[in-house]
Structures are given as C-alpha cells and as structure tokens.
Amino acid sequence: MQKFYFYLVVTIVIASCSTNPYKASEKEYDTKLKTFKETISNKEPEPLPVVTVTTISIDNAYTKQLYTFKDTLSKTGTTALENGRQTEWISTVNFNLRKPNSVIIHHTAQDSIQQTIKTFTLTRTQVSSHYVIGEDGRVVQMLNDYLRAWHAGKGSWGKDTDINSSSIGIELDNNGTEPFSEAQITSLMALLSKLKKEYNIPTQNIIGHSDIAPARKNDPSALFPWKTLAENGFGVWPNEILETAPLDFNPEQGLRIIGYDTKNLSAAVRAFKLHYIQTEIDSILNQNTINVIYSIYKKQ
C-alpha cells in the first residue's frame, strides 16, 4: 500500500511539472493581444486629406469603460455550460480585430457640435458615434473604429440585423432643415476616403440612417448630397439616363436585394426616395421610382 501511495505521489508531481504543450501558442496569443489592446486604446489624432483632425479630452468614464473591454479580451478562464461541461481554453495564434463593413451617415438634429459632443459624453443618453463633423469641417473622433458605438439602434441592411456591430457611425452637425456646408462635406469625403481604404468597405455600404431604419429615421435629410458622394466613389447613384425596368422586374424584391427592409414597403420606398430621388419623397411606387430602383439594383 505504501508503494502505491509513493507511485501516486510521484505520478502527480511529474504530471504537475510536465511541459504545457500549448505554452508557445499562448505566448504568441498574449503578444498579439497586447498589440490589439494598444490599437483599441489609441487616442492619437490622425491626419486626413484636406482637413485637420481635432480631438476632445477623454474623460475617466471612457477610460474605465475601455478597460472593462480590455479585461474581457484578456479573459482566458473556463466557463460553465448548461450541460455540466466546462469550456477549455487553448490559445490560437491566428486572429485579428474585427473590421467594420459599412458606414452609416447621420445628421445630429441638434443645434451645435458642442451639444452633440455633450450628448455623447453623458452616460444617461445611451447614444454615441465614432465621428462627429462640424459645419466648419472640424472632425471629432469619439471612439476607436474597432469598438462598437451606439448610433444605429434597431435596423437592418440586407441580412445584417446588428448594424452597430458591423459599422462606423458618422454624425454631421446639422438640424435636418439646413443645407450641409461645403467644408463639412469635404471633411466627410476625406474621412470616408481614409475609412474605405483602411477597412475595404464596399462602395454600396456607405448609406444613411434612414436606409437601415426606414420606418423610424429620416436622416440625413433630403438636402444631403448623396450624388456628390457617389461621384467621388462613396456610395452609388442611378444612371443619368434611366433604363426602363423590365415588365417582370419586382421592385420590392429589388429593394430587398439592395438592402432595404421591406416589411413596411411604404417606409422602404420613402427611404429609398429620400436617398436616391430626393425631389419626390413619398411612398408612391410610380414608374420613375421603379426605374431608379432597377438602376441601383443593377449596381449591387
């Protein structure tokens, strides 16, 4: 019996001293994770073509929230499952940060960029955006591109029903009833140029808040220069000479393929017109509207 206990103790000691076969991958995992932590923690302003980026001071609440996510990223423990099992952690070495796949453009519907910044720095508002662009062209970044802002709310684009998780939100300082300034649109296009290049965002995925939430939102307004953006490679625009849609073309299906939620077809048609027609914002599905839908549908 003593020999049995002796061998048992020796076996336990040997097992406890054995080399972790995943030690190398765990070391590489931790090294990569450290790099990504530094990436999402970066608050340095970046130069944009034409404009100068301005940043605001980051308060303690932001830093505290950021460290919460950094701690979550570092978590490597086990988790209990409902069937009584526990997850096991083995570090992979093949990973990176998730990248945004779309840009959602908003107007603030407020009176100044200062008011919007205040709104986004109060916890009780529960709303935020990655960037805010002032009427004078000032660009304020409020959240790292890789992190999830709360700008889209409930909405969808195609099969994507969690827009906040896959997009970058840009708010334009505009109350919704005034034209957008040239300086503001110039800064917007400079920023879009940077984002599109860095994250390989598809041209047709540069859209408005009303596109993803047609029954709830109407921003940016009909005064927003979507055509100008499209001419510079940010979004699509119908052909100048419209082709007549085939008789068997289904406009509702066309809207769905473009990305619109057509459960409320009238709202989807109105949102489409707000973006692509702008001089005729209603829910009437006339032949001209069908032809424009067909033109955009062919650009997908």
SS (H, E, C) 10-78: HHHHHHHHCCCCCHHHHHHHHHHHHHHHHHHHCCCCCCCCCCCEECCCCCHHHHHHHHHHHHHHHCCCC
Q: Is the CB of residue 187 less than 8 Å from the CB of residue 53?
A: no
| Amino acid at the residue 51 | V
Q: Is the CB of residue 48 less than 8 Å from the CB of residue 198?
A: no
What SS3 class is residue 290?
A: helix
Q: Identify the helix (H) or strand (E) that includes residue 107.
A: strand 102-107
Q: Which of 171, 182, 231, 240 is catalytic?
A: 171
* 160 DSSP assignment: B
Q: Is the CB of residue 267 less than 8 Å from the CB of residue 214?
A: yes
Can you give the length of the chain in residues? Answer: 300
- Told to judge if 82 belongs to the known catalytic residues of this protein, a careful annotator would answer no
Cis peptide before 220 (omega within 30 of 0): yes
Neighbouring C-beta atoms of residue 105, cutoff 10 Å? 26
Q: Which residues are catalytic?
A: 171
